[in-house]
Amino acid sequence: MVAAVSGQAAAPSPLFIATPLTEVGVFTSGIEGPACDVDGNVYAVNYERQGTIGRIRPDGSGEIYLELPQGSVGNGIRFGAQREMYVADYVGHNVFKVQPKSRAITIYSHNPNMNQPNDLAMAPGGVLYASDPNWTEGSGQIWRIGLDGNATRLVSDIGTTNGIEVSPDGRTLYVGGSDERVIWAFDIDVDGTISGQRIVIRFADHGLDGLRSDVDGNLYVTRYGAGTVVKVSPSGRILQEIDVLGARPSNICLGGLDGRTAYVTEVEHRRFVQFRVDRPGLAWQRLRSQ
């Protein structure tokens, strides 16, 4: 007997419409630093309790993937070319490196002159850039972390540096200033230093937190306090604004099996929400091509 097969394909999910991925409260209020692998999973810090990294499957179920060393609390997460994970430890002034199979943790970079660090961005060759705010003083720094793990301060006292990303061609560094409500752009020079600071976009109200790029160089920016994610062109034009079902989205990544699902860490309900996008994420595409 041959089973009947419907001739109707499942309708694709509509673009830019947010839905919950996980249950309410599975993370702490420190939910942050989402990063996507190429198998459809998404990771974020502080799953169930502080000091952990959680792995969430496509169906919304999750588990503790990793426990950070005692006293450390993660923030930004990035994957490297060999599937290794880099984690910003904002308490210990570290960037950890996590091996993909053994999950062994080592200190990749440490600098006591860091305030935190907060979030991470990766250039095409593997160099990391780290945002480093000082919330008490309303200032911040930007660091370059070389392939040897050595951290060099590039900018100081610029403002409350937070979300950070490198453009698809590796020539522009974008940094969000949360209190300043701006996204700055810098030229990345041949030696990895930055110059030519300029404002891409200034928002009239509410703060901003994380930001990530798609393969076309458009930025997805979490508007903390506004409860939205905005898609911004490299020239600073708002292309989309998405309600993310909670007032305090902290960060975002683009991934899933095809790179076209946005995952947002949402503080108010301590959960992930997701929505479909039109183009794959830059970090996902780079990871998939390795």
Reported as a single tens digit per residue, the pLDDT across 39-90 is 999 999 999 999 999 999 999 999 999 999 999 999 999 999 999 999 999 9
List, in sequence order, the alpha helices (H) in the chain. Answer: 282-289
d(CA 274, CA 14): 12
CB 257 within 8 Å of CB 215? no
d(CA 94, CA 81): 20
Residue whose tokens read 């499942």: 10
Query: Is the predicted pLDDT of residue 211 greater than 60, yes or no?
Result: yes
What average pLDDT does range 111-116 have in this prediction?
95
Residue 77: both structure tokens together: 């997460």
What are 164-179's pLDDT values in tens digits? Answer: 999 999 999 999 999 9
What domains lie within the chain, and their CATH numbers?
19-289 (2.120.10.30)
- Other Cβ atoms closer than 10 A to 17: 11
3-state secondary structure of 284: helix
Residue 156, φ and ψ in degrees, nearest 5: -130, 155
What are 252-265's pLDDT values in tens digits? Answer: 999 999 999 999 99
Query: Is the predicted pLDDT of residue 147 greater than 70, yes or no?
Result: yes
d(CA 58, CA 55): 10
What average pLDDT does range 84-112 have in this prediction?
97
Query: Is the predicted pLDDT of residue 6 greater than 60, yes or no?
Result: no
